[in-house]
């Protein structure tokens, strides 16, 4: 854990030091739906097997461990949403309030059957993929759309059958859902309760996706890809960093 924390803090410092700033004061971060750490308001939140850990990193040269919150379930991912954290687990999406950043407070949980559970959110809606697999083989392969207007009572709006959903990301009115070895699907989420599939790219494997400024950062089994995308639902490969 110490090695992982050191690497994360180095990345934070490099990012925060861009420009002419003398001091480093990280405030927020952008990650994929399968990320296991996130940054918000100068605090680093990390999920391990069954807990949420909070670190004060306002001084990146001296990170301070603050708190460990046990969840008593297998944790899959973490996603920042306004003053909240959405924590994906194998039996549901947990919502924590971090308006007091050193003391995450449990708000509610959206429960489901045992499944792997990445999550992203924007506006009044959260999008969750449920997938069966090695550690969650009693699950199902679906995309859930959840109404989170009232974070205390999240409600399922609709479910869409998938093949092997892994990660997902939001870019404007588009929702990108990776399907592992089966590629990636693109949905129009103008009406979140009635998603419309626009495209299905099957010529590459995709594990997670981060849309930003009309560029998709896609992680696959053999590397990290950057694709540009446009309103015509076209993808263009920009670069690839291979891994062995």
Say yes or no to pLDDT of 36 above 70: yes
pLDDT tens sequence across 79-111: 888 899 999 887 788 999 999 999 999 999 988
Are the CB atoms for 188 and 171 separated by under 8 Å?
Answer: no
Residues in CB range of 143: below 8 A, 6 or more apart: 127, 128, 129, 130, 159, 160, 162, 165, 168, 177, 195
Q: How confident is the model at residue 16 (pLDDT cuts 50, 70, 90)?
A: very low
pLDDT per residue over 173-213, tens digit each?
999 999 999 999 999 999 998 999 999 999 889 999 999 88
Spell out the SS3 assignment of 21-84: CCCCCCCECCCCCCCCEEEECCEEEEECCCEEEEEECCCCCCCEEEEEEECCCCEEEEEEECCE
Domains and CATH numbers, the chain: 1-113 (2.40.10.480)
Q: Please report, rounded to a whole number, the percentage of residues in the chain having pLDDT higher than 70.
A: 79
Question: Which residues neighbour 88 within 8 Å (Cβ) at sequence distance 6 or greater?
Answer: 33, 75, 76, 77, 78, 79, 117, 118, 119, 128
- Assessment of whether the complete model's pTM goes beyond 0.85: no
- Under 8 Å between Cβ of 177 and 119: no
Q: Is the pLDDT of residue 30 over 60?
A: no
Inter-residue contact 206 to 219 (CB < 8 Å):
yes
The pLDDT-based confidence of 10 (bands split at 50, 70, 90) is: very low
Q: Report whether 33 contacts 143 (CB < 8 A).
A: no
């Amino acid at each position: 854990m110490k090695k992982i924390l050191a690497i994360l803090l180095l990345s934070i410092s490099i990012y925060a030091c861009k420009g002419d700033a003398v001091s480093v004061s990280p405030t927020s971060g952008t990650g994929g739906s399968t990320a296991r750490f996130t940054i918000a308001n100068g605090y680093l939140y990390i999920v391990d097997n069954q807990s949420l850990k909070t670190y004060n990193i306002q001084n990146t040269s001296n990170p301070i461990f603050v708190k460990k919150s046990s969840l008593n379930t297998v944790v899959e991912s973490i996603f920042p949403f306004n003053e909240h954290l959405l924590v994906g687990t194998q039996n549901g999406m947990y919502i924590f309030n971090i308006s007091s950043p050193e003391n995450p407070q449990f708000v509610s949980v959206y429960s489901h059957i045992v499944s792997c559970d990445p999550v992203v959110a924007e506006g009044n809606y959260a999008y969750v993929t449920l997938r069966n697999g090695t550690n969650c083989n009693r699950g199902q392969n679906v995309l859930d759309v959840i109404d989170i207007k009232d974070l205390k009572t999240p409600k399922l709006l609709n479910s869409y059958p998938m093949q092997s959903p892994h990660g997902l990301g939001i870019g404007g009115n588009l929702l990108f859902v990776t399907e592992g070895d089966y590629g990636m699907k693109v949905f129009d989420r103008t009406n979140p309760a009635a998603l419309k599939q626009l495209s299905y790219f099957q010529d590459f494997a995709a594990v997670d996706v981060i849309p930003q400024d009309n560029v998709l950062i896609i992680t696959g089994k053999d590397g990290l890809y950057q694709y540009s995308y446009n309103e015509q639902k076209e993808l263009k490969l920009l670069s690839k960093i291979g891994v062995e």
